[in-house]
Amino acid sequence: MNCQEFQEALPHIVLESGGNAEEEAHLRSCPSCAILVQDLRYIADQAKLLLPMHDPSPRVWSNIERSLRSEGLIREGRMSLMGHITLTPQMNFPSQSKSWTPLGWAITLAAVIVSAVMLVNYHPVSPVSQEVLPSPAVSSLEGTDEQLMGQVAQQPAAVRSAYEDSLKKVNTYIADAKKAVDEDPSDQAAQQHLMGAYDQKAMLYEMGTVRSLQ
Amino acid sequence: MISPELSETEAIERAKQGDAECFEALYGLHKRRVYSLCLRMTGNTAEAEDLTQEAFLQLYRKIATFRGESAFSTWLHRLAVNVVLMHLRKKGLPEISLDEALEPQHEDGPRKDIGARDNVLAGSIDRVNLERAIESLPPGYRIIFVLHDIEGYEHNEIAEMMGCSIGNSKSQLHKARMKLRDLLKLSRAERAARR
């Protein structure tokens, strides 16, 4: 198999599992095609780590609410009380049975404040002094994260694992966004990514605190 | 009086009865993921907001038919994808033209510009740059890439949703990844030049 034949077959090769014996043999003997496949795998792997980072503007809900009322799909009553009901977060977490305590509010507020302070006090360094560091696929937990993991330590293993995984992903996102801001401090899109990443981290802390209060 | 904390299942059941607050709570829980999907597929903020609105309106109109055979988020997500695809079809399909994948292009065929070890992408790109590169993809490539590599749909599901063959879906995904590779290398070179 030559490079042309291999690259014609490439769209039908499942990157995760590899090709047939002939294709694998070509990969072992051809550095060019091996690098190509390595790059494509890397792109696919990185794409899986992308998080939903953007919120729609408030007018979207206003329009939905107006339409629901005009169609008679909702009972008359209070609306626009976002946050009044706290839904159990994703990942099929069991339902909450207790209301928030003052301690819970305090812990969550502290987590949000810490995130905000980190964001406000983040001063990007000059691009000139910035070294190019590889972006890790999955970052590690930070010191403050151990506190959150401690809060959910009594939860089932699947829940703890989900929290740990989410924290690592959001830490990676924060690191990436910081790097982008470092490279170009005037880059507004990068700044929005950074704010969004911290927002997600604050949300994780909030979720974890709720769970710890069960 | 509604409990301040509610499971999603309870909220769905109450929304089926027309509970306004539960509608809003479900929106709050899923808006970010639905909007991000719409934004990534269209690359346009205004369109993404309109489509998010339409997806949730359809959700609420159909919520009584949700029986829980699949996860609610999966159901909603599929609904949102269909809303986006329907919208793009109404625009005349150029946004999701499969011709981009089916017609021979100059980038088809074996690549001659690869091989140097320092060209390897691994470790040199981050998610911010990847998001930007995805935004720069031609719409047809971007939709397949978002559906497969980000949202995790299989080729047979994409083929069904897009009305194309599985082979076309694979071909377009491959071209999307190749295009992204070029865009990311270009981005890396530009960043290096700025330093």
Asked if the Cβ–Cβ distance from A85 to B24 is below 8 Å, we say yes
pLDDT for res A197: 78
> Could you tell me which residues come within 8 angstroms of residue B45 by beta carbon, excluding any fewer than 6 positions away?
B39
Segment 40-99 of chain B within 8 Å of chain A by CB: 48-49, 52-53, 56-57, 60-61, 71, 73
- Beta strands, E only, chain B: 5-6
For the stretch A167-183, pLDDT in tens is 787 787 788 888 878 87
pLDDT for res A133: 42
- How wide is the angle at C-alpha B150 spanned by C-alphas A141 and A211, nearest 5°? 40
Assess whether pLDDT exceeds 50 at residue A130. no
Chain B residue with Cα closest to A39: B121
Q: What is the least distance, in Å, from the CA of A147 to any CA of chain B? A: 24
For the stretch A132-157, pLDDT in tens is 444 444 456 677 787 778 877 777 77
Segment 122-181 of chain A within 8 Å of chain B by CB: 127-128, 130, 132, 134-135, 172-173, 175-177, 179-180
Taking the C-alpha atoms of residue B24 and residue A83, their distance in angstroms, rounded to an integer, is: 9
Chain B residue with Cα closest to A10: B174
For the stretch A87-114, pLDDT in tens is 554 443 333 333 444 555 555 556 556 6
Mean pLDDT of A2-16: 82
Chain B residue with Cα closest to A93: B7
pLDDT for res B181: 92
Could you tell me the pTM of the whole model?
0.65
- Under-50 pLDDT residues of chain B: 1-3, 95-110, 112-117
Q: What is the least distance, in Å, from the CA of A150 to any CA of chain B? A: 23
In this structure, chain B runs to a length of 195
For the stretch A17-32, pLDDT in tens is 777 788 888 888 888 8
Task: Give the 3-state DSSP-derived string for A85-136, with helices as H, strands as E and coil as C.
Answer: CEECCCCCCCCCCCCCCHHHHHHHHHHHHHHHHHHHCCCCCCHHHCCCCCCC
In this complex, is the C-beta atom of B141 within 8 Å of any C-beta atom belonging to chain A? Answer: no
Q: Mean of the per-residue pLDDT values for chain A?
A: 71
Which two three-digit tokens encode residue A177?
């966004």
| Chain A residues with beta carbon closer than 8 angstroms to that of B137 | none
| Chain B residues with beta carbon closer than 8 angstroms to that of A195 | none
pLDDT for res A92: 36
pLDDT for res A99: 41
Q: What is the DSSP letter of A139?
A: P
pLDDT for res A136: 45
What ipTM was assigned to the predicted interfaces of this complex?
Answer: 0.78
Amino acid of residue A35: I
Q: What is the percentage of chain A residues whose pLDDT exceeds 70?
A: 65
For the stretch A64-82, pLDDT in tens is 988 888 877 776 554 444 4
Q: How far is CA B96 from CA A156, B101, B163, in A?
A: 43, 10, 11
Q: What is the DSSP letter of A147?
A: H
Asked if the Cβ–Cβ distance from A42 to B122 is below 8 Å, we say yes
Label residue B2 left, alpha or beta by phi (over 0 means left) and psi (-120 to 50 means alpha).
beta
Q: What's the first-to-final CA gap in chain A, in angstroms?
A: 61
| Chain A residues with beta carbon closer than 8 angstroms to that of B60 | 64, 68, 73-74
